[in-house]
Structure 1
Amino acid sequence: MDTTTVPRASARMMTPEELVMQSLTKQIFKSRLFRGHYLGRYFVEQIGDYRDVIALQRSERELEKLLIRDAGQLQMFYQRCVPNMWVGISYGSLGNYKHIPHPAQLETCIWAELNDLALGEYWFSIKTLRFRDQEVLLKLKTVRAVEPEPMATPRRSVSINRTTASNTITAAGESSTTESQVTDQPPPLGLADFLEVLRQWGEGIKQTTYDFMANDVNKHNIMGTIRFLGLLLFSIGGGAIAALRFLGIFAVRFLFELSRLSHALTPILLQILQFLNNIVGGVFILFTMIWKDIITRGQPPTPKQPLEGSTRFKSITYDRSDRRRWR
């Protein structure tokens, strides 16, 4: 039995620029969450296979810009090495798929491989990008189906009651005129109207939160916020350490210079205090002399009385008989 071996096609060698481009593109779209409408499965002639078409939801404007920009860059890059490279991103109709404008959908569509899904709106997550020989495919993961939002109940119409004032009849001679004045009264507000306003506020808050979570809360923004907070805390910590170091050096140098100043000024201060003490003492002595002169001025001097003998004072007498005996 004659057997022949079919040679396998050699894999295309990728340049470093292509590898870098693929890595950057995967980082941009990886783990990105978005809403989309599953429209069905259509045949793609360029690759000879079926792909599932997902139209972006109206709120996915940012993702639409990224998809259109990167799809154009990929097509321009692969025109040199793989001219027939097909990128699974389209705008409007493509091949057998005829895009029908819808108020809740964008014209940008993603062509991917999905499991059997029912037509409707879903939450999708971009797992990664697959770069095949002639195709660039977005690998999607179906997160969950989007529940239809309840229809808002129309508010009941409140009729405006108008009351007509009593006619005022005025007689002027033989003719009389009748005037009617219509006054508008505000409609009565009840508990139902208050609850309706609260419900509308709740719906508005819910829609705003939903749009924020769908468009702004993603892995890229969360990582950017964490990185920014980390750099901010690091900067604050470094600034605080530098400020404490500067304050410590300044305090030590200030105390050193203050001690030198006090050591140099101590003799000067002591001399100044002694000088002030002498001045104050001299002033007090001067005031004392002036006061003494004022008091004693105009008075005759008091004569000094001589000492007179008095019996109060006893004198000491010596016995001279003993002196003669010793002679």
Structure 2
Amino acid sequence: MYTDQQVSLDNLWFVNQNPYGCLPNLRLCDENEAVIEEIKFFKKHGGGTIVENTTTGIKRDVEFYQRVAKEAGVNVIAGTGYYVEKSRPDTLKMTEEEMVENMRTDILHGADSTNIRCGIVGEIGCSWPLTASEKTCVKASATVQSELRCPVMVHPGRNEAAPFEIIRIYQEAGGDVNKLIMGHLDRTIFNREKLVDFASIGSYCEYDLFGIELSYYQIQDTIDMPSDAQRIQLIKYLIDEGFEDQITIAHDIHTKHRLMKYGGHGYSHILLNVLPKMRKRGITQEHINKMLKENPRKWLTFGK
């Protein structure tokens, strides 16, 4: 009944519980003007940079990123690469060399027939188990990283073993693990011992679903999505275990219902709501500065 309805107050109760069950909700590209206004709000409250990691398979729009940067006065860093296999059926026969060449071109010369250059590889979409094309893409990402000394971001499959498997393939292909962010750990690794084991490998550990306070996870209902409070607890645990230099945080906003226009938390949620809670839970301003400034700066800088 609600699958094809535009998002509104009348059906927001359904969309909040089933965000991927309402097709218009997935078209964030319909809300460009609202996004610009929200990024201006983000800038007003201390935000300075957006990493926009849309890749092949989910319709990147680098010219819009450029417009956001100009009108909102923030840095927007675009990503190159390939999302999960099922999102890009026309790329499955691509070789590793072809993927490398496309990503290299996006970074050095410009993406999508523009002179707008990408600043990261990723997010590289991985399923569980990894498909053949996804393995090829991980290897290609490692090759580009090794050549250009650029940052890489990965979307792991929904299994605790997935981040470990991806890192193994990436390192064997020559990628620098210290320049890689493993995203979505808040829905991937729940066991604290395994979390420490993974962090010990050396990649950045990202908790990037802040604002999603929904225990029912529509994409995979075997997973209990943590709350923001639980995310903060795990970040505090990683800090206490000595991994403060490897933590990054984000929102991963990609649907309409998470915009302020529709009653969502918006792009400023971490700045306005999460950071005060972190301070109350013993995360110091020094730790916050590392998560929001120093760690992203180190990751985004090309070279060692």
When the two structures are superposed, what TM-score results if normalisation uses the length of structure 1?
0.18
| Larger of the two Rg values belongs to structure | 1
Greater helix share, structure number: 2
Structure with the higher strand share, 1 or 2: 1
Greater relative contact order, per chain length (Cα 8 Å cut-off, separation 6+): 2
